[in-house]
Amino acid sequence: MELPPSAAHRAAYPLTRLPERVRTRLTELARTHAPLAAYLYDPDTAAARARELRAALPDWAAVYYAVKANAHPAVLAGLADHVDGFEVASVSELTLARTALDARTDPRPAAAPTPVLAAGPAKSTAVLTALVRADAESINAESLLELHRINHIAQRHGTTARVSLRVNPAHIPLTGSLQMGGVPSAFGVPEPDVPAVLAEAATLPALDVVGFHIHAASGNLDAESHAAYVRWCVTWATDTARAHGIDLRQIDTGGGLGVAFEDEKPFDTARFGALIADTPPPPGVRVILEPGRYLAAECGWYAAEVTDLKNSYGHWYAMLRGGINHFQLPTSWDIVHNIAVLPVDDWPAELPRPTAEDAPLTVVGELCTPEDTLLRDVRVDRIRAGDLVVFPNAGSYGWEFAMPHFLGHPAAERHVL
């Protein structure tokens, strides 16, 4: 017996939610890569987002793409000409970023630092050494011990390393998003410890402290509250640098720009840029934003074939060729990733073809665990075994964020429009 319709059942996205070029390419891939489980990326979409953001910002603001969100070489290459640099967290990401930067249409001067910033709460000696040798624009130092390690490595290589001190502020004036400051954390130096850490950093001869890194927000869709946060970062960094004799050149405010899902209102970049323009930093100081998901989310789609479709006690389940081994984000963050159903007409004549129409559906993966559930209670007009389930907004924290080795199934493919 079918479950009665419920207002709680969200409707699946209409096919028009998928650009025609995406539908065409996925249909082609379904014929040649069956059973399909793949990401499809459009680097031009990420580049357009970067251009839109940069156009809204004052001249003293810079955009560095967080490679962790999507490290596909084509995406990095598409962004390289439209961002000021990249934020990296590993030797692998550093290598990918440098390759994309080297292919820029307008290459950097030979003597200029490599436009990468480095993050991470527990950077290894290998990572720090690679950053120093690459002449990274800034290493965001997370602790006093890390400052000493960077100094030691820079001395060994006969150079000076530029660092920004990552700070965990005691209080941040931010509402409407996940806050990552003002509470105990593995990230950054607690604000009360900053004076002592800066004093000791001044004694380390191979360090050049250029500023501060304060990444205390995530997923913020409210342009006004995020502008207030950035203005607060500028004021705090300026006052702290003046009080401790720091030659301030850089204020890194992290990422935190939200991506709209379902019926959420998108982040208003024009409003945000106008609001932060009212509080410029001191002359010669750059304010840095490190968006990752904001630039990459809309440039990717995850598509997987429905390998089976079954009705269990009145509720339909679509079993996909992939699951959290390919696309773990829906189970990890408080985000609802809705789907579109792309019909695939090819089907073996000798096999029955289960079909559900106007029915609530739960979408699960191929793994032997109930945790492998990607979407619950979505109402579909029609879905059949062999059709494709497509997740828009899968361009960030998708392929990189999954757990591909669990049960040893083949990894998701990656294709570029």
Residues 62-106: tens digit of each pLDDT: 999 999 999 999 999 999 999 999 999 999 999 999 999 999 998
What is the pLDDT at residue 65? 98
- Report the Cα–Cα distance between both ends of the chain, in Å, rounded: 43
Token look-up 């062999």 returns 386
Q: Which of 368, 370, 405, 408 is catalytic?
A: 368
User: How far is Cα 287 from Cα 60, in angstroms, rounded to an integer?
Assistant: 6
User: How far is Cα 136 from Cα 101, in angstroms, rounded to an integer?
Assistant: 13
- Between 104-118, 319-333, 338-352, 374-388, the lowest mean confidence (pLDDT) is in 104-118
Tokens of 98: 């440098």
Confidence of residue 382 (pLDDT cuts 50, 70, 90): very high
The 10s digit of each residue's pLDDT in 186-208 is 889 999 999 999 999 999 999 99
The 10s digit of each residue's pLDDT in 268-323 is 999 999 999 999 999 999 999 999 999 999 999 999 999 999 999 999 999 999 99
What is the pLDDT at residue 171? 83
43-296 belongs to which homologous superfamily? Alanine racemase (3.20.20.10)
Q: Does residue 5 carry a pLDDT above 50?
A: no
What is the pLDDT at residue 4? 37
Q: Does residue 6 carry a pLDDT above 70?
A: no
Active site residue 233: no
What is the pLDDT at residue 177? 52
User: Class for domain 10-41+298-416, per CATH?
Assistant: mainly beta
Q: Does residue 119 carry a pLDDT above 70?
A: yes
Kindly write down the DSSP assignment for every residue of 25-45, as one continuous string.
Answer: HHHHHHHHSSSPEEEEE-HHH
Mean pLDDT across the chain, nearest whole number?
A: 93
What is the pLDDT at residue 3? 35
Q: Work out the angle at residue 133's Cα, subtended by the Cα atoms of residues 128 and 135, and round it to the nearest 5 degrees.
A: 95
What is the pLDDT at residue 185? 82
What is the pLDDT at residue 1? 30
Do the beta carbons of residue 69 and residue 39 sit within 8 Å?
no
Q: What percent of the chain has pLDDT over 90?
A: 87
Residue partners of 240: CB distance under 8 A and separation at least 6: 194, 212, 246
| pTM: predicted TM-score of the whole model, two decimal places | 0.94
What is the pLDDT at residue 133? 98
- What are the residue boundaries of the structural domains of the chain, listed by start? 10-41+298-416, 43-296
